[in-house]
Structures are given as structure tokens and as C-alpha cells.
Amino acid sequence: MMKKYIVLTILLSGLFMQWSCSDDDNVQVVIPDVTEDIEVQDFIWQGLNLYYLWQESVPNLNDTKIDDQTEYVNFLKATPDQEEFFENLIYNRSSVDFWSWIVDDYIELENSFAGISKNNGVDFRLSRFSGSNDVFGYVRLILPDSDASDKNIKRGDLFTSVNGTQLNLDNYRDLLFNDDVDTYTLGLSKIEDGVVSPTGVSVTLTKSEYTENPVFITKTIDEDGHKIGYIMYNSFTANFDNELNDAFLQLKNEGITDLILDFRYNPGGRGSSARAMASMITGQFKGEIFDKVRFNSKLQTEFENSNPDWLFDNFSDKMSNGNTINSLNLSSVHIIITSSSASASELVINGLNPYINVRLVGEQSAGKYTGSFTLYDSDNFNKTGANPNHRYALQPIVLEGVNKLDENDKDGFEPHIEIPEELDNLGVLGEDNEPLLRAAINDIIGVSAKHIRTKAYSFEKVTDSRMHTLLKDNMFFENKELNKLFKRTQIKIK
């Protein structure tokens, strides 16, 4: 194994490897006997020490950890498994930081940001009846042009087994979310009088590389003198910002007077896409603050002193790709939410709340108020110059988002009109009699929602298929030009 050297960049200001715009102010200290097998651990520690939102709450991420170079190297060597090393530095995984993650192949991560994944086209939720260990799934939607799109499976179908094995709390991960298995067979079921039982019908599905357009439905509904625009949007994917902008242009050209956004299955995504959508809904607030971000104390102080404009995002008439935003100039919007609506979905709600009337329909949202950056193993944590010896990347939580009024809702947003998705009456997405959409339409035209039926069966959510993708319910932001401010230690081959 090649011998390596760790080079510590120590600033004359006394701050360890935090910020510098000139290498001339740096003193380099060489520590010998660092082997190649801990370069990932060194990258992990440095990335979290600088960026992690809860850095000050994790003793092993304290700046002084590296004061004794031999002790630091021994600390890195003590945990050979890179992912275990990462987990050991996470703050309260079970109750605070549910979201930070590490990947061993950033190419796969970048594909997921672009909406590319291995997918059979079935979006589903897993549930169980209270107190039961057995799990059943129901189909929420079928992605177009996927393997499932020409199979005998549709929204509302239930399944209880995979490859003949009953799903339960202990095995559903291995049966449904095993990265090494691309093909499986679902055993379909039915529910009658609160009892789920097999139908004897099965469907075999195969995952393949699939690119999902998150703009799932765009249409205009004419009712009671209102022209109501409806967009079902399933992920904030920057690669499809143009398609989202085109959807708003379609509604604008159709002369809509009201807008319903359907985020019921949208777990989040790119923060810049959320800002663009908020600007599409409005347009009259260009230059006003859409959201503010808060970092750990050392980053926050640095930004306040040198780049205060990086601490907030404004409404704009331009998307991040430079294209002009098609704005509707609305003063109100209805948004359909469920417990699957998270992060960037909630960012749109929170950012708009101080400006326009935001009416929420459905179930309480997830309560995901934080965002992340992608960190690569390079001298400035950007992809350029990334270490060729591996493809590890970090996606740590680095910021907390608030709106213009310094507000967020860490427990999720409660709907103004509470109506759950009903297992026995899911309806057809986009049709004006689908229960959640109908509740939103009724609110717009002034009809009481009290006649909307309540759910027939009591069951508990276990998880859903989107929570087992790389992105899960995360919100991520561009790394801007942080390489102009921040340096890190280097591991170099002798």
C-alpha cells in the first residue's frame, strides 16, 4: 500500500482550516505514516467539521480534534469502515438528524438528482393495521412508460406478498428495496370489512434505469365561474425546471383564475426549483426574500461578515438556468399535502406564507426543515479535482431554512381542510371528483368540505417507495462558490 502524507493547512489567524482566500497566509505541517485506507475518513471528518449544522454538538467534530496530529490519525484509523465512521459523527440520528447520508458512488447520487434511478414504475405506500406485524402495500401511482405501465397493476391496487412471502415489518426492506434484486412478483390482495386477503393474482415487475418527469399532471378545470389550474408535481428536480415552467405557461395561456398544486407524494429536492416555483405562482414579489438559511455558528459568522447575500434567496423572474419565469401573479394558492410532502415542498409553503394566502388541503406534512450540500473529496469539497481513488460523497445537513418572518414548522404544516387519502376510495389522480382535489376545488368555489367522506379503515403508515431512493425526503442546495472561501487539509501521495 502506498504511503500517504496528510498536510494540515493552519491559518495564522488561529482558526483551523476554516477560511482563506490566499494560500500565502498558510503554514503547512506534514504528518507522515498516513496510509491510503483512511483518506475517506479524513475527508468525512473535515467535511462535517466545516459544514455540519450540528458540528458544535458532536465532541469528535470539535476543531481541537486535530491539534494532536498523531492522535487525529489514530482516531481515523480506529474505525476502518467508512460508513460506520460517518454514522459515529452524526448528531442524534434517532431524534434530530434523520437525514444526513453518505454514498460510495457520487455518479449514482448525481443521477438521482437528475431524476434518474432504477425503477419499475410503481409508486406505493406500505401500511399496517394497528398492532399488526404484517404489512400491506397500496399503489399510489404508475409512472408512464415504465415497466409497470403496461402491466396489470394500477392506482389503488393492494399487495401483501413478494415472491410468495408475506410482507411484514422485519422483511419488507429485503423483499422490496434490495439493490441487488431488480425483478420481483407482487401478490395482489383486496380489503373487505377491514380484512386484507389475497386475490390470487400476481404481477411481475422489473426495475431498469428510468428518468422521471416530476410534472405528472397539468390541466385546467372550469367550475362555477372559476378557471382552476391544477399541477401534480412529484419532485423538485432541476433538470425538469423547463417542463415546470412550460406547465405554468400552459395555465397562464388558458387564463386560470385559481391554482391547485398537488404535493401529496412530493418528498422534496432542489431548493432552487422551489424558489422558481414560488416565483411562478407569484411574480409580483421580485427581489423580496423568499427564504433565509442558517448554518453552524462558524459558517454563519463567516457569511455574515463576507457574503451576507448567501444567507437568503429572493423571488426572481429568472430560473437558475437563466430562462425567464412564467409567472401567474396570484394572491392565493391551494396546495394538497400529506405526510409524504416534505422539505422543498414545505419550503414553497413556508416561503409563500408571508406574502399570499396559502390554503392547505389533505394531511399534515412531514416536517423537514433542513437542507444539504454535496461534498466531494477535493481541496474545496467541489467535484472539480475530486480524489480519483474513490467515489465517496457526503450529503450532510448543513442548513436550516426559515421564511422572511424567521418562521418554519419543524413538526410539519397542518392542513386548513383535513382530509386523508382513503384506502378504499383513492379516486383517479387529476379527475375533479378525486377526494383531495375535490376538497380543494370546493374550497375555491365556496362549497363546504364537510360532505367529504372520512376514511373507512384505521391503519398506520410504515413507509413509502420514495423514501427508499437515494434522495428520500431531502432538500439540497447548490454549493455556490464556497471554494473561494474554504480550504481543507490534503492527503497527498508521496
pLDDT digits (tens, 9 = 90+) for 359-393: 999 999 999 989 998 999 998 898 989 999 999 99
| Mean pLDDT (the chain, rounded) | 88
β-bridge mates for residue 314, sequence order: 289
Q: Which amino acid is at 317?
A: D
Residue 32: per-residue pLDDT = 42
Range with the lowest mean pLDDT among 189-198, 286-295, 427-436? 189-198
Residue 488: per-residue pLDDT = 54
Q: Is residue 200 located within the same domain as residue 236?
A: no
Range with the lowest mean pLDDT among 215-229, 254-268, 467-481? 467-481
What's the Cα-to-Cα distance from 436 to each of 359, 423, 439, rounded to whole Å? 13, 13, 5
> Has residue 484 got a pLDDT over 60?
no
Distance from C-alpha of 279 to C-alpha of 318, rounded to nearest angstrom:
9
The residue out of 208, 242, 266 marking a domain boundary is 208
Range list of β-strands (E), 234-377: 258-262, 269-270, 289-294, 312-314, 332-337, 357-362, 370-372, 375-376
Distance from C-alpha of 97 to C-alpha of 51, rounded to nearest angstrom:
14
SS3 45: helix
Q: Please say whether the dihedral angle defined by the alpha carbons of residues 463, 140, 346 and 470, taken in this order, is positive or negative.
A: positive
β-bridge mates for residue 400, sequence order: 294, 370
Q: Which three cell numbers stand for residue 432?
A: 375533479
Range with the lowest mean pLDDT among 201-205, 229-233, 442-446, 458-462? 458-462
The number of beta carbons lying within 10 Å of the beta carbon of residue 383 is 15
Establish if 396 belongs to a structural domain: yes
CATH for 166 = 2.30.42.10
Q: Please say whether the dihedral angle defined by the alpha carbons of residues 50, 55, 60 and 65, taken in this order, is positive or negative.
A: positive
What's the Cα-to-Cα distance from 262 to each of 48, 219, 268, 349, 353, rounded to whole Å? 35, 12, 13, 12, 17
Question: How many domains is the chain built from?
Answer: 3
The residue out of 179, 208, 237 marking a domain boundary is 208
pLDDT single digits (tens) 255-265: 999 999 999 99
pLDDT single digits (tens) 319-348: 988 999 999 999 999 999 999 999 999 999
Q: Is residue 307 located within the same domain as residue 425?
A: yes
Establish if 30 belongs to a structural domain: yes
The number of beta carbons lying within 10 Å of the beta carbon of residue 362 is 27
> Has residue 43 got a pLDDT over 90?
yes
Q: Is residue 421 located within the same domain as residue 304?
A: yes
Q: Is residue 191 located within the same domain as residue 238?
A: no
Largest CA distance in the chain: 77
> Has residue 31 got a pLDDT over 50?
no
* Eight-state DSSP code of residue 455: P
> Has residue 92 got a pLDDT over 70?
yes
Distance from C-alpha of 369 to C-alpha of 405, rounded to nearest angstrom:
15
> Has residue 14 got a pLDDT over 60?
no
Q: Please say whether the dihedral angle defined by the alpha carbons of residues 450, 456, 462 and 465, taken in this order, is positive or negative.
A: negative
Distance from C-alpha of 271 to C-alpha of 462, rounded to nearest angstrom:
27
> Has residue 12 got a pLDDT over 50?
no
Q: For the residues 168-189, what does the mean pLDDT come to?
A: 96
> Has residue 275 got a pLDDT over 90?
yes
Establish if 293 belongs to a structural domain: yes
Name the H helices within 320-366. Answer: 344-352
Contacts of 451 (CB under 8 A, 6+ apart): none
Distance from C-alpha of 116 to C-alpha of 129, rounded to nearest angstrom:
33
Q: Is residue 14 located within the same domain as residue 133?
A: no
Q: Is residue 201 located within the same domain as residue 56?
A: no
Confidence of residue 489 (pLDDT cuts 50, 70, 90): very low
Establish if 397 belongs to a structural domain: yes
Q: Which domain range does residue 447 map to? A: 215-454+468-476
Task: Name which of 178, 150, 145, 146 is nearest 162 in CA terms.
Answer: 178
Distance from C-alpha of 259 to C-alpha of 151, rounded to nearest angstrom:
33
User: Per-residue DSSP letters for 193-227?
Assistant: TTEEEEEEEEEEEE-EEEE--SEEEEEEEEETTEE
Distance from C-alpha of 296 to C-alpha of 283, rounded to nearest angstrom:
32
> Has residue 216 got a pLDDT over 60?
yes
Pairing of strands 165-166, 158-162: antiparallel
Q: What is the pTM of this model?
A: 0.88
> Has residue 421 got a pLDDT over 50?
yes
Q: Is residue 189 located within the same domain as residue 227?
A: no
User: Per-residue DSSP letters for 310-330?
Assistant: GGEEE--SB-TTSPBP-----
Q: Is residue 229 located within the same domain as residue 200?
A: no
Place of cell 454549493: 479
What's the Cα-to-Cα distance from 392 to each of 18, 76, 111, 293, rounded to whole Å? 22, 16, 15, 26
Confidence of residue 457 (pLDDT cuts 50, 70, 90): low
Q: Which amino acid is at 464?
A: D
Establish if 101 belongs to a structural domain: no
Per-range mean pLDDT, top range of 106-110, 205-209, 454-458: 205-209
Contact 244, 280 (CB under 8 A): yes
Residue 276: per-residue pLDDT = 97
CATH for 367 = 3.90.226.10
Q: Is residue 304 located within the same domain as residue 232?
A: yes
Q: Is residue 277 located within the same domain as residue 426?
A: yes
Residue 482: per-residue pLDDT = 57
- Helix, strand, coil percentages in the chain from 3-state DSSP, rounded to 5: 25, 30, 40
Contact 376, 350 (CB under 8 A): no
Contacts of 81 (CB under 8 A, 6+ apart): none
- Find the angle CA(303)-CA(305)-CA(311) to the nearest 5 degrees: 30
Strand (E) or helix (H) holding 270? strand 269-270
CA 284 to chain centre: 28
Contact 421, 264 (CB under 8 A): yes
Establish if 399 belongs to a structural domain: yes
> Has residue 5 got a pLDDT over 60?
no
Q: Is residue 178 located within the same domain as residue 300?
A: no
Establish if 20 belongs to a structural domain: yes
β-bridge mates for residue 359, sequence order: 334
Q: Is residue 276 located within the same domain as residue 333?
A: yes
Q: For the residues 207-219, what does the mean pLDDT come to?
A: 96
The residue out of 175, 208, 241 marking a domain boundary is 208
Residue 483: per-residue pLDDT = 52
Confidence of residue 85 (pLDDT cuts 50, 70, 90): very high
Q: For the residues 103-132, what does the mean pLDDT come to?
A: 91
Confidence of residue 494 (pLDDT cuts 50, 70, 90): very low
Residue 26: per-residue pLDDT = 39
Confidence of residue 129 (pLDDT cuts 50, 70, 90): confident
Establish if 112 belongs to a structural domain: no
* Eight-state DSSP code of residue 337: E
SS3 336: strand
Contacts of 373 (CB under 8 A, 6+ apart): 51, 381, 395, 396, 398, 476, 477, 478, 479
Q: Which three cell numbers stand for residue 214?
A: 416530476
Pick left, alpha or beta for residue 389 (phi over 0 → left; psi -120 to 50 → alpha; otherwise beta).
alpha
Confidence of residue 115 (pLDDT cuts 50, 70, 90): confident
Residue 69: per-residue pLDDT = 87
Residue 86: per-residue pLDDT = 97
